[in-house]
Amino acid sequence: MGKNKQKILPGRYQVVPRTLIFIRNNDKVLLIKGAKDKKIWPGLYNGIGGHIERGEDVLSAAHRELFEETGLKNIQLDLRAIIFIDVEEYQGISMFVFLGNSDRKVLVSSEEGFLDWIKIDQIQNYPLVEDLYQLITMVLSTENTVQFGRYYYCDGQLVMEFI
C-alpha cells in the first residue's frame, strides 16, 4: 500500500502514543517524583516513560525513555497494559504500560525528577499520579497477561475501565 493510501481524516479520533514503565526490585517498585517545575504532575510520583518519537516502535521508545530517565539498559520489558485515554472529543493518548525487573538499585536521576524505590506495600502512602494507585497493583499482580483499558473523565472525575 502506498503512502497516498494512508489518510488521517478530519474529525476522526487521534491519539498521541506514550510509554509507562514500572521496574520492580523484589518488594519495591521504581518511581520518579516529578520535578517541581514540570508542566504535568509536578511533585507527584509516576512510572518512568514518555512520548513515542517518530520512527520508533513502542518497545524501543520504552527502552529509550527508561535509559534517559534512569540510566538502566538491557532490561527485559514485558507489555502489561494498553490504555486509551480520552482527553478531548477527537484527541486522546494511547499508553503502553511495561513491567521489568532490575537488581540495580543505584540509579541516575534526571531533569524529569527524583528516582525512588518505593516498597510496594507502602505505595498507598505516597502522592501518586491519580491512576497509579490502581494501575500499579494491577500491573504487578497480572503476570504474563496484557490488560486492555480506557480512561475518561465524567464530571471532572477520572473513570478507569478495564476489560
What does the pLDDT read at residue 16?
95
Hunting for cell 505505595 — which residue is that?
Answer: 123
> Residue 75 has what pLDDT?
95
4 belongs to a structural domain: no
Q: Is residue 2 part of a domain?
A: no
Of 145 and 57, the structure prediction assigns the larger pLDDT to 57
- Of the candidates 73, 71, 57, 72, the one whose C-alpha atom is nearest the C-alpha of residue 19 is 57
Whole-number Cα distances in Å, 82 to 49, 94, 148: 14, 7, 5
**Domain hosting residue 41, numbered range:** 14-158
Asked if residue 14 has pLDDT above 80, the reply is yes
Count of Cβ atoms closer than 10 Å to residue 107 Cβ: 18
Residue 43 lies in a domain: yes
Q: How many distinct structural domains can be found in the chain?
A: 1
- For residue 82, what pLDDT band results from cuts at 50, 70 and 90? very high
Beta bridge partners of 86: 92
The reply to whether 5 falls in a domain is no
Q: pLDDT tens, 115-128?
A: 999 999 999 999 99
In the three-class reduction of DSSP (H, G, I as helix; E, B as strand; rest coil), residue 148 is classed as strand
Under the banding of pLDDT at 50, 70 and 90, the label for residue 36 is confident
User: What band does 2 get if pLDDT is binned at 50, 70 and 90?
Assistant: low
Mean pLDDT score across all residues of the chain: 91
Q: Is residue 8 part of a domain?
A: no
Query: Looking at the domain assignment, is residue 7 inside a domain?
Result: no
Which residues have a Cβ under 8 Å from the Cβ of 40 and sit 6 or more positions away? 34
- pTM, entire model: 0.92
Is 1 within the bounds of a domain? no
What CATH code is carried by the domain that includes residue 62? 3.90.79.10
Q: What is the mean pLDDT of residues 6-24?
A: 91
Burial of 34 (0-12, 13-18, 19+ CB in 10 A): buried
Q: Rounded CA gap, 46 and 129, in Å?
A: 6
Flag whether 24 is in a domain. Answer: yes
